[in-house]
Structure 1
Amino acid sequence: MHTVKPLAGSCLCGQIHYELAAPPLLTAICHFAHCQKQSGSAFSVNLVVQRSDLAVSGDLASYTDRGESGTVIYRRFCAACGSPIMTEPSDKPEIAYLKAGTLDDKGGIDPKVQIWCSSAQPWWSSQFEIPAFDRNLSQ
């Protein structure tokens, strides 16, 4: 019988570690302006996960942000090195958006959707043939 190894990751300095006990619900590329600023890049790649499947060790610092709708979102990161680890929306506490760049093994990353394409950098040209939405999936 083949055993599936849980996904694991950490921050840059190693003070934060996590394991994901189940596969992500979805992997998404987000072009939202706040995600660009937080990631320091043109977009953020996020694993949408059940929060109950995610075990985190180490003390996460937090920044309270607001989405375009006004919904509070908590951006969790390592206080020592600043690595973004996840985002937790206050209106969906059962979900977390885990930052794919913090995974130990990024080989299985397979984005299925792009969101907030209306905020994408003008030079961005998707190499993926995946659904793209101007805003969130529900908008």
Structure 2
Amino acid sequence: MGYTGRCSCGAVELRIDAEPIAVRQCWCRRCQKIAAGGPTNNAIFRTADIIIDGPTASHDYVADSGNTLTRTHCPACGTPILGGSSARPQMRVVRLGVLDQGHELKPTMAIWTSEAPGWAVLDPAIEQFPAQPPAPPAPQS
């Protein structure tokens, strides 16, 4: 199985020839800013399994953990594409919104719930972490 996706304007396309390592919802304040106040919904894949075609732009910042995080987006329309951490260069976090319809991926975990606004609706059926959870298992090459 694989996944395809594209940004809102179609300038950036991606293909992923693998299944995700994990699918998470993130309520950290930085994710709320790029998701218009809600959480980001993300699938974690091996970096080597992601192929991106088209121009991208990125923004780096230092997280509370001390790691450098990179957010990649389309420079033309601003659609968030993926994120990465200096602590885990072998993995990338793909935004579910960039994937084409029909992917059926859904979060099994909500993270940084301590930063969720009071009106947030958290699914009680999924695992929840008030801050950063343990890293998913390292992907096999």
TM over 0.5, shorter chain? yes
Q: Secondary structure at the match of 2:77?
A: coil
Aligned length: 135
User: Do 1:100 and 1:106's aligned partners in 2 also have CA atoms closer than 8 Å?
Assistant: no
Report the Cα offset of residue 67 of structure 1: 1.4
1:73 aligns with 2:73: no
1:113 aligns with 2:76: no
Q: How much identity, in percent, do the aligned residues show?
A: 27
Distance in 2 separating the partners of 1:132 and 1:106 = 25
Distance in 1 separating the partners of 2:70 and 2:56 = 11
Q: Which residue of structure 2 lines up, in the alignment, with residue 53 of structure 1?
A: 49
Question: How do 1:1-139 residues align onto structure 2 when only pairs under 5 Å count?
Answer: 4=1, 6-138=2-134
Report the Cα offset of residue 70 of structure 1: 2.1
Report the Cα offset of residue 40 of structure 1: 1.8
CA RMSD of aligned residues (A): 1.4
Gaps of 5+ in 1: none
Q: Larger deviation: 22-31 or 63-72? A: 63-72
Q: Larger deviation: 110-119 or 121-130? A: 121-130
Distance in 2 separating the partners of 1:106 and 1:124 = 26
Distance in 2 separating the partners of 1:77 and 1:106 = 22
* Structure 1 stretches of at least 4 aligned residues deviating more than 3 Å after TM superposition: none
Distance in 1 separating the partners of 2:63 and 2:24 = 17
Listed one character per residue, the Cα deviations across residues 38-86 of structure 1 (whole Å, up to 9, x for unaligned) are 2223100000110101000011101012211121111000000000100
